[in-house]
Amino acid sequence: MFTVCALYHFTPFDDPAAIKGPLAKFCCERGITGSLLLAREGINGTVAGADAAIRDLIAYIDALPGCAGFDHKLSQASEQPFGRMKVRLKREIVTMGQPDVDPRASVGHYVDPADWNALISAPDVAVIDTRNDYEVAIGTFDGAVDPETASFRDFPAWWEANKDRFHNKRIAMFCTGGIRCEKSTNYLIGQGVEDVFHLKGGILKYLEEVPEDESLWHGECFVFDGRVSVGHGLVEGPHEMCHACRRPILPEDKARPEYEEGVSCHKCIDDYDDARRERFRERQRQIALSKARGEKHLGPR
| Residues annotated as catalytic (active site), given as ranges | 175
**Sign of the CA dihedral 124, 127, 9, 211?**
positive
Shortest CA distance to 110 belongs to which of 209, 178, 197, 7?
197
Report whether 42 contacts 8 (CB < 8 A): yes
Which residue type sits at 179? Answer: I
Task: Name the residue type at position 54.
Answer: I
**CB 185 within 8 Å of CB 198:** yes
- 130-163 burial, b if ≥16 CB within 10 A, otherwise e? bbbeebbbbbbbeebbebebeebebbbeebeeee
The DSSP code sequence of 126-158 is: EEEE-S-HHHHTTEEETT-B----SSGGGHHHH
Structural contact between residues 213 and 233, judged by C-beta atoms closer than 8 angstroms: no
d(CA 284, CA 243): 10
Radius of gyration of the chain (CA): 20
Handedness of CA 192, 196, 200, 205 (dihedral sign): negative
Phi, psi dihedral angles at 202 (to 5 degrees): 70, -170
**Bridge partner residues of 111 (DSSP):** 199
Query: What's the CA angle centered on 58, arms 202 and 81, to 5 degrees?
Result: 65
